[in-house]
Structure 1
Amino acid sequence: MRRFAYILICISTLLSCVACFQAESKVEYAENQLVFNFKSIDDLYQFLTYDENRYPLVSAHRGGAFEKHPENALETFAFHAKKRPTIIECDVQLTKDSVLVLMHDELLERTTTGQGRISSFTYDEIVKLNLKDTRGDVTRFRVPTLQSALKWGKGKVIYTLDVKKNVPYSLVVDAIRNAQAESNVIIITYSAGQAGQVHSLAPDLMISANIKNTEDFSRLASYNIPDNRIVAFVGTKEADESLVERLHAHGIMTILGTIGNLDRQATKNGYQVYAEYIDRGADILSTDHPQEAQKALDYYIKKRKLSSPFLP
């Protein structure tokens, strides 16, 4: 009898272990499954072309940092990617030995355990540093290379790459080519001239162009960049309705930077404010509060029964 009971206990334990293994396997799969089903860059063009049923998105500014999750860290990107289809805005700097890494500041002090200019250190020196979170607390996370970010992000996120002033666009384009990441990258530009430069280097890549008024739009038009290669950053305040209508008529989606005052309005008045920005013509919200913004967009998407063939 005791032997029979012992056998039952062993079988029960074995089944429990199998169940735990299966649960862990499901979690692992959920973390690594593809989010954006882009088979080619043409799918990215289509997904980011405006129509009345466009799927609004959140862009996590500097990767969406919060407590224990530093800015420009792959671990922070992964946290957001597990929960929702996300655009990750991140920053590209260059080390002394010409390695492209993700970091916003030229100086190391604010976001890492290092000191001095990033351009004064080799990547082997940079990679030994730890990243700090939004409170300044040191984490176990390290500074990632652009190459590692592009490799990890394929199918999981869309990147908007903020290329800092001392970084040649050609190096960034080469990194995108090497990672075969064309279908999940947008390069940020700050003037029509910069947009034209990127387009001449890589006519197939998507560009985020500063278009805050009709004059900006006219200057950009002189570079003959196809409309389906452009998303328009309209600034950190809501754009004039006439500009939004003109951009939408060209199939160009808008990015509204809620960082700063508009994020504060949402914090003060409730996260439903983010949905109101979408109602008034924004298509992508670049925010320091991606989790709160997504709550509003989830409700907006569900209420309007929006979907996309490129999303699960």
Structure 2
Amino acid sequence: MNSTRIVVVGIGLFFALSCGQKVKETQINGSGLHRIDVESTQGAREFYSWSADRIPLVSAHRGGAYPGFPENAIETFEHVLKYTPAIIELDVAMTKDSVLILMHDDDLERTTNGQGKVDEVDFAYIQTLQLEDNDGKLTNFKVPTLAEALDWAEGKALLTVDIKRTVPFEKVAEEVKNAEAEPFAALISYTFPAAKKLHNLAPELMLSVTIRNQEEIKRFEETGIPWTRVIAFTGLAERPLEFNQAIHEKGAFTILGVLGNLDRQAIARGDEIYAGFVQRGADILATDRPIEAAQAISGLVPGNSSKAKFFIHDN
């Protein structure tokens, strides 16, 4: 039987695990980026399979924008990975001529020096634009395509793909398959019918599905989607420990959306509150402050993980 290989790389160090083998450490000459490398769909299921010795992670909302680094830009993704391994959450929109690009808004004005609606302009126009950061500062960075992001992510990061409402699910699933990105690209759904449709289109892919209470656990199970294919997004408010434990009993990770109010609480009260979220059952923190949140939870990495599925090097 083929072994499953899951790799997490910290700056200057390489840690690999194959089934039946111990973790091996070797030196590498890399790009100076923390990396997560999941090489198969079975590896993805193992990576997201909850266990008591799991290692908490951050998910960089819209790629983790910072001053000088706009949202949904590949350069921004790499900026985050200089500081921490991360899941990269990105947004997919579609141009008038059906090219899938990374863009959150329907309009171009906030994040680029262009004008108009994404679905009313063609890709040739998109290619002429430059991205602006969240302070409105123009950068030299271009709007990436989904294909470029998938190509970039292989061997570097896990992705969660937020599909904008005008984009056909079929087209995104096809692009992920064409890029052979199934091991590292999970698709986001906000409703159970959407999750079921995505699962039917691409049953091998992981899905991020909104599950916020016991009733929604029941409704999710009625979809017939296996728990081995789901990462449970528990919303933008912290859930009780008992609810997180119920998700863990199903074998799934929880993603807590700390972006917005909870990120602001961390700014006001101190970044140590991120650690509290993890200690109360959040496995992944979806945040606009991935660098700060990762630093705050770095001390929670188990030192003697019996499963040793993956290892995050502490800079």
- TM-score, normalisation: structure 1: 0.87
Name the aligned partner's letter for residue 294 of structure 2.
Q
Question: Which has the larger strand fraction?
Answer: 2
Partner of 1:117: 117
Listed one character per residue, the Cα deviations across residues 164-217 of structure 1 (whole Å, up to 9, x for unaligned) are 001011111111111111110110000111110000001110000010111111
Partner of 1:51: 51
Is the Cα–Cα contact under 8 Å of residues 67 and 134 in structure 2 kept in the other structure? yes
Partner of 1:129: 129
Please say if 1:84 is aligned against 2:84: yes
Please say if 1:179 is aligned against 2:172: no
Query: How many correspondences in the alignment?
Result: 284
> In the aligned structure 1, how far is the partner of 2:202 from the partner of 2:239?
29
Matches for 1:197-208 after TM superposition, within 5 Å:
197-208=197-208
Partner of 2:249: 249
Is the Cα–Cα contact under 8 Å of residues 161 and 188 in structure 1 kept in the other structure? yes
Partner of 2:60: 60
Is the Cα–Cα contact under 8 Å of residues 93 and 101 in structure 2 kept in the other structure? yes
> In the aligned structure 1, how far is the partner of 2:33 from the partner of 2:263?
31
Gaps of 5+ in 1: 1-27
Is the Cα–Cα contact under 8 Å of residues 33 and 78 in structure 2 kept in the other structure? no
Is the Cα–Cα contact under 8 Å of residues 255 and 284 in structure 2 kept in the other structure? yes
Q: How well do the aligned residues superpose, as a CA RMSD in angstroms? A: 1.7
Q: 3-state SS of the aligned residue for 2:259?
A: coil
Question: Which has the larger helix fraction?
Answer: 1
Listed one character per residue, the Cα deviations across residues 138-183 of structure 1 (whole Å, up to 9, x for unaligned) are 0000000000000010110111111000101111111111111111
Deviation at 1:270, TM superposition (A): 1.2
Matches for 1:123-162 after TM superposition, within 5 Å:
123-162=123-162
Residues 84/305 of structure 1: CA separation in 2 closer, same or farther (3 Å cut): farther
Is the Cα–Cα contact under 8 Å of residues 37 and 310 in structure 1 kept in the other structure? no
Listed one character per residue, the Cα deviations across residues 205-233 of structure 1 (whole Å, up to 9, x for unaligned) are 00000101111111111111111100001
Is the Cα–Cα contact under 8 Å of residues 37 and 311 in structure 1 kept in the other structure? no
Q: 3-state SS of the aligned residue for 1:37?
A: strand
Partner of 1:193: 193
> In the aligned structure 2, how far is the partner of 1:261 from the partner of 1:45?
31
> In the aligned structure 2, how far is the partner of 1:176 from the partner of 1:208?
15
Q: Which has the larger radius of gyration?
A: 1
Is the Cα–Cα contact under 8 Å of residues 109 and 115 in structure 1 kept in the other structure? yes
Partner of 1:276: 276
Name the aligned partner's letter for residue 90 of structure 2.
C
